[in-house]
Amino acid sequence: MSVCGSRKSRRKHCNYKIPSSDFLFVNKQTSISNPVNIVKNKLCISTWNVTSLVSNSSKLYQLEKSFDEYGLELLGVTETHMPGSGNQTLGNGAVLMFSGRADGVRRSGVGIILSKKMKNSLISYTPVSDRVMTARLHSKHINISVTVVYAPTEDAEPGTKDAFHRELNDVQSELPAHDIKLVLGDFNARVGRDNKAHPGVIGTHSYHMESNDNGKRMLDFCAMHQLTIGVTLFEHKDIHKTTWRSPNGQTVTQIDHICISKRWSHSLLDVRSMRGADINTTHYLVRGYVSVKLKCPEKRKKSARMPALEYLRDRTKNNEYSNKIAEKFNDCQDLHSENRPLEEKWKDLKEAICDVSFDVLGERSRKQKAEHLSKETKELLKERGEIKKLPITDDNRSKYSRINGLVRQSCKKDDNSWAARVAGELEEAAKQGQQREYSNSYQ
């Protein structure tokens, strides 16, 4: 089947039925049943080489802003420089899952970010190495397997490239055969336009005429695993095809890609680079849309109110609480009745304890997360982002570089202020014996 049709014809045929498949929900910790809620029928997928998320404190803030501004729902990030593996919740409610080097060195690294709504569709994720990780998601009819990759550069040793592609092929081969496959990331691969030599793998709208060595390896990988390179399918201006620009602005290439299973390639609605997204990287955000309906578990109930039990460390409050409990227990004659069922007695006792706890101790307040970045830093980031959207000229590059230096200086001041504030609050908490509560609030 040809996948090189026009955008208009592709949109027309993207709603065909997908064969049903059994769900494989493996999250045993939450004991949530199979999902029942349809999230939406058009999924926004993307990939971005962010060139470190740990170089300064503004990186995650910029990532959150761009994630919301461009309506992203699934973002594969590469070159994160985050060591180890794990996950963390971002300020906008999205979840970042990352996989980095095990030796603690801050190099390479990959990650997957799911939006606040979409993270409920997650089945599981697997951090494979600092260059490959996978995740699995529920959808309405068939599950989705996502692979994020960060390939060695074109100048890397052939042995390094071979080892990477062996690992990638092994990982891709182990994914469930019936899943929709999405492969995102920085392949460092220039792909040509010879779609006759690779039918179904590439279209006719690649930016490059010829493939480099990494491009040939990528074409072989996609042919082996029945994948289509999405960015080559859609007709766009050249400025919306390129994904990397050299620091001097003289060289542009198309090396970041979004691939999808060849069988579902007509569900891919569009892929293009978004040049306005700013995170101080030489790579552009690559965004695409897939016609698919995700499912997520039923909404969980809101967390119950909790009394401020930490006040029991105060001797005065402790004595008042004990006296109130004793009075309440003595006043409840029904608790002493032998004719009432045990379940009713327990219910009344529980309600009495809860009433006294809230009356004496009050409700535990939810501590708002303190802003790490100052207003001045955010204004500088906004100004830098506006410059990023201007035409690329020597003058604009000079302005961007100047503002970027001010951002780094301002971030360093914010980091020092934040560290001093945390140290002061921790010292105060230690005096009151509340180190545990304070520590938990910052985890």
Contact in structure between 202 and 220 (CB atoms under 8 Å): no
3-class SS at 383? helix
DSSP 175-228: S-TTSEEEEEEE------S-TTTSTTT--S--S-SS--HHHHHHHHHHHHTTEE
DSSP 319: H
Query: What is the model's pLDDT at position 369?
Result: 62
Q: How far apart are CA 284 and CA 364, in angstroms?
A: 44
DSSP 32: -
Q: How far apart are CA 333 and CA 67, in angstroms?
A: 59
Tell me the pLDDT of the chain averaged across its residues.
Answer: 81
Inform me whether the pLDDT recorded for 278 exceeds 80.
yes
Query: What is the model's pLDDT at position 434?
Result: 63
DSSP 139: B
Query: What is the model's pLDDT at position 243?
Result: 94
Q: How far apart are CA 171 and CA 362, in angstroms?
A: 53
Inform me whether the pLDDT recorded for 33 exceeds 50.
no
Of 116-130, 231-245, 310-324, 357-371, the poorest mean pLDDT is in 357-371
Inform me whether the pLDDT recorded for 437 exceeds 70.
no
Buried b (16+ CB within 10 A) or exposed e, 183-207: bbbbbbbbbbbebeebebbbbebbb
CA distances for 380 relative to 24, 189, 291, 335, angstroms = 46, 34, 37, 64
Going by pLDDT thresholds of 50, 70 and 90, the confidence category of residue 442 is: low
Q: pTM score, two decimals?
A: 0.76
